[in-house]
Structure 1
Amino acid sequence: MNAANPATNKIGKLPYVLAISFILLMVSLSVWLQHAEIILPEVAAMAIAMWVYREPGWIRRPSVIFIAPTMTAAIGLTMNQFQIIYPIKVMLTLFIMMLFLRLIRSNLAPAIATGLLPLAIHTQDWSFVSIVFAFTLTLMAGVVVFQLHKNLAAKSMIQYKYMVIFLAISLCWLSICWLLGYEHMAVIPPIFVVVYESLQKPIYTVKMAFKQGLTLTISAAVGALIFMQVDSQVLAAFIDMILIVVISRLFHARIPALYAIPLLTFVFPVEKVWSLPLVTLVASLFMFSFILLYKYGEKKASNRKHRPEQNEGFDQNSVSPS
């Protein structure tokens, strides 16, 4: 399953066919068994990222592909058993997940989404954990069988300080939603994944933030519109995936979360579906702007730190004209 032609760096059709077929199989099983929680939006993102894009950070350690999401799903489901204020519940879940990822030395961002989904859809069914395990194990099998992780280093540099920044951004967003009385609309798991991954990027620009916010909002709008107009979930999911492929290529955006957001319409309460595009837009504006501000401050601090060293080097190497 070659994700790209080395000569042209273009993604072939076969990986898309396999990934989208896998996503449709998941939706079909949900319809057949009449179990909505079988639909895991983040699994769609993982299928595209791992089988199509071959994201190194997601596939370099195959065992983590199913271990991390399964454990975070259990964390989220456990936290959902407690009767505490929703924003606090979400923050505690995020904090514990960050500790877990730090413990296993992993940066697998989709594990954040599988941990938040139980809180977002308010499920307390423990079968959710086994469903996450089964689908992520299948994804891992695809990576291993086709050797998609071949030649990738098993370890990578992880900037753990960004976990703290991620928690700070999440706390600010959840606090604002709580103060405005919209706390139950605050958690859109794919956006949290994009935020976490964006923080890890060495360079983050206004153009990148704009493209992310725009395409995520369009993806949410597409999902909401198709959900309301098409009765068959399998057909709706197929149309969603095809349209997202078009959007991704049109905007040159390789953002796996784009494939996850439309599927949220299948698991969210109907009253939340209509507001999904607006909430996605507002969340993107706030959280991505926060990242831009932080990255700007980080770059400015780095420049100040290196400027004295450069000046000192210049003074020491300077030669008097006399």
Structure 2
Amino acid sequence: MKTPESRRIVSAVLISLCFMGGIAGAASAAGMALLLFPELAALSYDVFLRPRGTWARAPWMLALSPAVTAVLGVLVTRYLPYSAASIAICIVGAMVILKLMRSPIAPAISACVLALSLDEKSWSYPLSILLGTGALALLAAIYRRFFDKQAAHAAPSAADRVDDEIESLPEQFRWVPFFVVFLGAAYLLSIATGMRMVFFPPLVVIVFEMFAHADVCPWAKRPMLLPAVCTLAAAAGVATLAAFGPGIISTVMAMLFGVVMLRMTRLHAIPALAIGLLPQVMTRPDWHFPLAVGIGSTLLTASFLLFEKSSGAGREFAQ
């Protein structure tokens, strides 16, 4: 027998799937593939699952932050080649933008890096993202006000408090050197393998939240499982695209696979949902994409384990 909580979760998942299906349909009809911004999968899942959460409570930032960082991404792509320097400008610039805007929307970093990864130079890119995130912010606000009255009076659970902390801006920065070293290693590995998507854009969001909130981040507590989840999400994205072509069915199927996988593994790595939708906006995605994602996410796990070991040794030394 379904409990009210399970019904609420199913309802939130169905709404987010319908939203993403609608965005995919609009992208196909308008001929604007990047209207289907992959991070919308993670954002929509969270704001409908947690209508009182950090992202849902910041509708203006939800709508605007990814579009603003996308503008920076287009500027960098127009004037600089794909390189360590241009990647650094995108990541640091996006983080500065979030800080100045006081925005908790970390997936906006991915919007900046995605432009560089796809060599996207058109100003329609930030406009497309604004249309998608604006629609999500509006629907999330309506849902929170009129259809989720039970959550309005409920005290936040322990899991909600953890998610709120992960989605907030970090307050300490001892992780930054490790973050920089990892990003440099991931870039060099992408060049060495000839697979740019070793440095896949959602990776920046995953590593940012993993390192900045290592004490509470769910996938930081189970890092060995992360490469499998990311690689399977990428494989599902390629497989559904190959089976159904770009559009509503492949988008919904890829996202549904990601949601079910996260629920079954109990690994609350919401940014991984964006990985399954990346093939929708790539030029010619094939089996190299899940391979690249597997390499990048495995490097992340190894780097994070070293970070944990170094941090633990540092705390012991301090004591």
TM-score higher than 0.5: yes
1:278 Cα deviation from its structure 2 partner: 0.6
Aligned to 2:276: 262
Normalising by structure 1, we get a TM-score of 0.82
* Pairing partner for 1:170 from 160, 165, 183: 183
Please tell me the residue identity of whatever aligns with 1:229.
A
* Pairing partner for 1:182 from 194, 197, 201: 194
The change in CA–CA distance for 1:198 and 1:56 in structure 2 (over 3 A counts) is: farther
1:88 Cα deviation from its structure 2 partner: 2.0
The change in CA–CA distance for 1:160 and 1:92 in structure 2 (over 3 A counts) is: farther
Higher alpha-carbon deviation: 249-258 or 203-212: 203-212
* Pairing partner for 2:66 from 65, 69, 77: 69
Instruction: Write the distance in 2 (CA, Å) between the matches of 1:96 and 1:218.
Output: 31
Aligned to 2:55: 58
1:16 aligned onto 2:5: no
Give the alignment's Cα RMSD to 1 decimal.
Answer: 2.9
Instruction: Write the distance in 2 (CA, Å) between the matches of 1:282 and 1:232.
Output: 25
Please tell me the residue identity of whatever aligns with 1:193.
V
1:187 Cα deviation from its structure 2 partner: 3.1
Indicate conservation of the 8 Å contact 1:102/1:160, yes or no: no
Aligned to 1:31: 28
SS in 2 for 1:268: coil
Please tell me the residue identity of whatever aligns with 1:191.
L
* Pairing partner for 1:159 from 163, 171, 181: 171
Please tell me the residue identity of whatever aligns with 2:20.
I
Aligned to 1:316: none
1:82 Cα deviation from its structure 2 partner: 1.1
What number of residue pairs does the alignment pair up?
A: 300
Structure 1 gaps of 5+ residues are 307-322
The change in CA–CA distance for 1:101 and 1:163 in structure 2 (over 3 A counts) is: farther
The change in CA–CA distance for 1:92 and 1:165 in structure 2 (over 3 A counts) is: same
* Pairing partner for 1:194 from 194, 206, 213: 206
Q: Render the CA deviation track for 1:35-81: whole Å, top value 9, x for unaligned.
A: 22221101111101221245844334332212221111111111110
1:245 Cα deviation from its structure 2 partner: 2.7
SS in 2 for 1:176: helix
Higher alpha-carbon deviation: 69-78 or 232-241: 232-241
Instruction: Write the distance in 2 (CA, Å) between the matches of 1:79 and 1:157.
Output: 24
Structure-to-structure mapping, 1:231-246, within 5 angstroms: 231=245, 233-246=247-260
Higher alpha-carbon deviation: 13-22 or 61-70: 61-70
1:125 aligned onto 2:138: no
Q: Which has the larger radius of gyration?
A: 1
Aligned to 1:44: 41
4+ runs of 1 displaced by more than 4 Å? 7-11, 147-157, 203-207
Instruction: Write the distance in 1 (CA, Å) between the matches of 2:101 and 2:223.
Output: 29
Please tell me the residue identity of whatever aligns with 1:245.
V
Q: Percent identity?
A: 19
* Pairing partner for 2:310 from 294, 297, 303: 297
Instruction: Write the distance in 1 (CA, Å) between the matches of 2:97 and 2:220.
Output: 31
* Pairing partner for 2:90 from 89, 93, 98: 93
SS in 2 for 1:201: coil
The change in CA–CA distance for 1:73 and 1:35 in structure 2 (over 3 A counts) is: same
Indicate conservation of the 8 Å contact 1:86/1:184, yes or no: no
Higher alpha-carbon deviation: 223-232 or 57-66: 57-66
Normalising by structure 2, we get a TM-score of 0.83
Indicate conservation of the 8 Å contact 1:86/1:183, yes or no: no
The change in CA–CA distance for 1:304 and 1:107 in structure 2 (over 3 A counts) is: farther
SS in 1 for 2:78: coil
Structure 2 gaps of 5+ residues are none
Instruction: Write the distance in 2 (CA, Å) between the matches of 1:54 and 1:214.
Output: 29
Please tell me the residue identity of whatever aligns with 1:51.
F
Indicate conservation of the 8 Å contact 1:220/1:276, yes or no: yes
1:223 aligned onto 2:237: yes
Indicate conservation of the 8 Å contact 1:206/1:292, yes or no: no
1:302 Cα deviation from its structure 2 partner: 1.9
Aligned to 1:311: none
Aligned to 1:315: none
Instruction: Write the distance in 2 (CA, Å) between the matches of 1:243 and 1:261.
Output: 11
